[in-house]
Amino acid sequence: MQSQFIKDLITLPGFLIHGERKEGERWIFELSLPPHCPICPTCFGRTTKISSKRKQWIHGYTNTVGLFWIELPIERRRCQACFLTFTVSYPGLPSHSIATESFQHWVAQLCIGKTIQEVARLLQLAYTTVERWFYQYAPALLPTSNPTVVCVDEFAFRKGHDYGVAVMDTQTRNVLSIASGKNEEAIVEALQPVASKVKYVVSDLAPAMRKAIEKVCPKAIHVLDHFHVIQLFTDALERCRKYLAKGGTKHGSVRRVCRLLSQRPEKLTEEERQEVRQWCQESAYLRDVYQALQHFRYVSKSQTRKQAETRLTQWFDRYLFSDCAAVRSIAKALITRRDAVLSCIVFSYSNGPMEGINNKIKLIKRRGYGYRNIQRFTLRVRLETSITF
């Protein structure tokens, strides 16, 4: 029973177990191969053994034992035909390493969700060794994906200074690529790996986003995020609220006024709707922006593309030459992105999941205390967002 337990623990069924011993704090399992005669790797002839020595590799870890090692004989052999001298190697046991490949792969998996320093302290290994194993085996852990709908958004490495662009698959919530910067070149670099497969691209209203998407994904449909479109109206309402000093300076009162102005009228009580009507009568600016917002929400309720096109055209005809400067500015900003706004109404894709991923990217950045280059940071983010243990 003990022998079977050791076989299950070591997971090397092709080797024979001769025993185990403890040297200091290390448990070592003595293994060997069944009797065999390795052939020459050049001429495939018979070989003879010249010398033999035993070598140890780290092979596993348990909470009670800690690291445990395996020990195997390493033979030097000579071919009887071509006289080639070589060292016998075993699959999965690198000759120039202190650990087996399975253990290195396990350590790379263990680093997902933890810092490399934390894993190195847990296993009592050198930080540089764990770091080398992680970046050697981590790329193989990345899943393959064929995204058809992606979200593109920027995030801050450091507010006001350094920014990056991330591309996420909306179906799997996996980050596909990251580029440094937030200009058109950075967005093009981030979209390049998925440009040939993607059909829909969701983004905000940044001009660089539109230019990069048209350049890299000319056949993809550009969909504006509905939240960012509505934000144009809510920002104008917030400026008006500050100018009219509605809500005072108390946080609770300000939040209440913002909610009444941005909420749909059907979700308000009769008293709240009457209060909003009174504010609109006091300010023509507030009335025009509020009416434009509610009319656009009516356009967003369109059931078919044809109905959406008709309603959107009517909206532009009404507000593109409005007396209110804020409404004209919003209409001009949307008419330059008419197709993307129409796709925003027709399709239900949103950039909301990407905003949550941005927060996770910032947490990974802070937890790692900086990364050597953008490639390693991208690898860490892709692993954290794509693999769940």
Evaluate if residue 66 carries a pLDDT over 50: yes
Examine the domain organization and report whether 87 and 111 are in the same domain.
yes
CA distance 26 to 115: 25
Examine the domain organization and report whether 263 and 166 are in the same domain.
no
Q: What is the mean pLDDT of residues 3-11?
A: 57
CA distance 194 to 210: 16
Which two tokens mark 371? Answer: 């990364």
Examine the domain organization and report whether 9 and 136 are in the same domain.
yes
pLDDT of residue 141: 84
Examine the domain organization and report whether 212 and 342 are in the same domain.
no
Q: Are 169 and 150 in contact (CB under 8 A)?
A: yes
Q: How confident is the model at residue 30 (pLDDT cuts 50, 70, 90)?
A: confident
Q: How confident is the model at residue 209 (pLDDT cuts 50, 70, 90)?
A: very high
pLDDT of residue 307: 92
CA distance 220 to 356: 24
Evaluate if residue 90 carries a pLDDT over 60: yes
Q: Are 184 and 211 in contact (CB under 8 A)?
A: yes
Evaluate if residue 329 carries a pLDDT over 90: yes
Examine the domain organization and report whether 239 and 117 are in the same domain.
no
Q: How confident is the model at residue 143 (pLDDT cuts 50, 70, 90)?
A: confident
Residue appearing with tokens 């790692």: 368
Evaluate if residue 152 carries a pLDDT over 90: yes
Backbone angles phi, psi at 60, to 5 degrees: -165, 180
Evaluate if residue 5 carries a pLDDT over 60: no
Helices (H), the chain: 2-10, 101-110, 116-123, 127-141, 184-191, 207-216, 226-244, 251-262, 270-282, 284-300, 305-319, 325-335, 338-346, 352-368, 374-386
CA distance 258 to 69: 64
Evaluate if residue 11 carries a pLDDT over 80: no
Examine the domain organization and report whether 155 and 175 are in the same domain.
yes
Q: What is the pLDDT of residues 234-289, one digit of tens each?
A: 998 888 888 777 767 778 888 888 888 888 888 889 998 898 888 888 888 888 99
Residue type, 117: Q
pLDDT of residue 306: 92
Evaluate if residue 199 carries a pLDDT over 60: yes
> In Å, what is the CA distance from 317 to each residue of 194, 287, 332?
38, 18, 11
Domain count, the chain: 3
Three-state SS at 203: strand
Three-state SS at 128: helix
Q: What is the pLDDT of residues 164-186, one digit of tens each?
A: 899 999 888 889 999 988 899 99
**Nearest CA among 267, 313, 312, 319 for reference residue 290:** 319
Evaluate if residue 330 carries a pLDDT over 50: yes
CATH number at residue 165: 3.30.420.10
Examine the domain organization and report whether 292 and 176 are in the same domain.
no
pLDDT of residue 332: 93
* Last residue within a domain, chosen from 108, 140, 172: 140
CA distance 169 to 324: 40
**Nearest CA among 336, 253, 324, 271 for reference residue 295:** 324
Evaluate if residue 328 carries a pLDDT over 60: yes
pLDDT of residue 12: 65
Q: What is the mean pLDDT of residues 22-44?
A: 79
* Last residue within a domain, chosen from 140, 164, 190: 140
Examine the domain organization and report whether 339 and 371 are in the same domain.
no
Q: How confident is the model at residue 1 (pLDDT cuts 50, 70, 90)?
A: very low
Q: Which residues contact 162 (CB under 8 A, 6 or more apart)?
A: 156, 180
Examine the domain organization and report whether 43 and 108 are in the same domain.
yes
* Last residue within a domain, chosen from 105, 140, 175: 140
Q: What is the mean pLDDT of residues 58-63?
A: 81
**Looking at residue 304, what DSSP letter applies?**
S
Examine the domain organization and report whether 122 and 170 are in the same domain.
no
Give the range of the structural domain holding residue 80, as residue numbers without chain letter.
2-140
Mean pLDDT of the chain: 85
CA angle 109/111/116 to nearest 5° reads: 150
Crossing angle of helices 284-300 and 226-244, in 10° steps, is: 160
pLDDT of residue 13: 60
CA distance 71 to 56: 4
Q: Are 232 and 206 in contact (CB under 8 A)?
A: no
Examine the domain organization and report whether 197 and 130 are in the same domain.
no
Q: What is the pTM of this model?
A: 0.76
Examine the domain organization and report whether 158 and 111 are in the same domain.
no
**Nearest CA among 245, 174, 191, 234 for reference residue 388:** 174
pLDDT of residue 223: 93
